[in-house]
Amino acid sequence: MNDHDLDTLLARARAETPADAGAAERFLGGAALRDERARAARARHLRAGWVPALLASAAVVAGVSVLRPPPALPASAAYEAYQSAWGDGW
């Protein structure tokens, strides 16, 4: 194969045909559809991910609020209880 034959072959390969245009449209249309599906799947995944995280956070808050010990009496309340037990003249 000489250089002239190779140039002719490459020129025919570069020439666009109606079949090439149709294939390009189908490819680009499919890529757009795949992109849209991927975007919708990501959005669904993000929305679905918030529900378990929210429920887990609520469970942690509820568990901490139920399991923590009751607060101790403040110093002023303890003093008042001591004073009332012993009376005013202690």
Q: Three-state secondary structure along the chain?
A: CCHHHHHHHHHHHHCCCHHHHHHHHHHHHHHHHHHHHHHHHHHHHHHHHHHHHHHHHHHHHHHHHHHCCCCCCCHHHHHHHHHHHHCCCC
pLDDT-derived band at 8 (thresholds 50, 70, 90) equals: confident
Check whether 18 has a pLDDT greater than 80.
no
**What sign does the CA torsion over 77, 78, 84, 88 have?**
negative
- Per-residue pLDDT at 62: 85
- Per-residue pLDDT at 72: 66
pLDDT (tens digit per residue) in 23-70: 777 777 777 777 888 888 888 777 777 778 888 889 888 888 777 666
